[in-house]
Amino acid sequence: MTATSIDAERSGDDARFSAVEVVRTDRQKTVCGYFEPGQFIPVHAPDSDVVITVQSGSGIVREGDTDHPVEPGSVVAVAAGTDRGIKADDGNRLEAVLVTAPPPTDAEHEPVRRGLQHEAFEPPEAEK
């Protein structure tokens, strides 16, 4: 059993969001996500479900074409294959627990790496 807390795992990075893996199995991955104001996970659509539970702060969770405003206590579930992304509001940090099932592959995270490299929450039109 893994037992921890969002406070115990807290990590930050001024350049981009920080994700601390808490547990990974063949069936799921759980991370604590830490976002400074304006930081994000770029929109991408892996073949895994995700449930995002916001612990503190505010921002949006993208689900397909919908942006869900989130705050402490918000829970958003996004189905596999659906565009998704997370962004902290410009004036607030955001801390959340993200559970994906099954864990996304390294190839499925390539759009995330490209988005971070280009500082783009939205993928370029050519990738949509």
Query: What is the full per-residue pLDDT of the chain (128 aa) written as tens digits?
Result: 678 888 888 877 777 889 999 999 999 999 999 999 999 999 999 999 999 999 999 999 999 999 999 999 999 999 999 999 999 999 999 999 999 999 999 899 899 999 998 899 998 764 55
Would you list the domain boundaries of the chain? Answer: 42-119
* pLDDT value, residue 109: 87
Question: Strand, helix or coil at 10?
Answer: coil
E-strand spans in the chain? Answer: 18-24, 29-35, 40-44, 49-57, 59-63, 66-70, 75-78, 84-88, 94-101
Do 33 and 57 contact (CB within 8 A), yes or no? no
Both structure tokens of 32: 């604590």
CATH 2.60.120.10 fits 42-119, yes or no: yes
* pLDDT value, residue 85: 97
* pLDDT value, residue 128: 52
